Amino acid sequence: MAEWLGDVRSALEKGAGIDLTNRPGCVRWERLTDDPRLRQGKIVRTCMGVMGKISDGRLVVLGDSANMNARTALAQKLAAMGFTNIEPLGCKDLYGLVKKMEEAEGLNRLEKAMDFICACMTHSEKAAFLNSVKSRQGGGKLG
């Protein structure tokens, strides 16, 4: 698979398309609908179907590289279905969020860190955590 992915990358860097007819047997490709409202449902149903057939329980899903919110929503839906370790493969968002953290100070820096955590981890509760921190700073016992 690594060799095939290397070939895919080379083709993309040259501006060529991807030939999915020569993909390895471990790669499953399915066409998504043109209607963006129906895409995530299709992806979740496909993932659930594939997971039932995979013996080692590992599955990689490549989401929309240009839309962090769509990837986050998909990760949340998959997490609700029992999937774990849902991670982005690229670092563009990471660099942007880290830059915002570096530029911030004090509690604002913590808020930017929580933005990053919530973008990467499902079931993260920024408001509850920050309320606990603010309560502690004010002498309260919340959190």
- The 10s digit of each residue's pLDDT in 77-125 is 888 877 776 666 666 777 788 888 899 998 899 999 888 888 777 778 8
User: What is the arithmetic mean of pLDDT over 11-36?
Assistant: 85
| Rounded percentage of the chain residues whose pLDDT exceeds 90 | 6
Token couple for 125: 């509760």
Mean pLDDT of the chain: 81
Instruction: Find the farthest-apart pair of alpha carbons in the chain and give their distance in angstroms, rounded.
Output: 63
Distances in Å between the Cα of 118 and the Cα atoms of 7, 75, 93, 115 are 34, 11, 12, 5
Please, are residues 73 and 40 in contact by the beta-carbon 8 Å criterion?
yes
Q: Which uninterrupted H or E stretch holds 73?
A: helix 68-80
User: What is the arithmetic mean of pLDDT over 16-35?
Assistant: 84
Query: For residues 82 and 43, which has the higher predicted lDDT (pLDDT)?
Result: 43
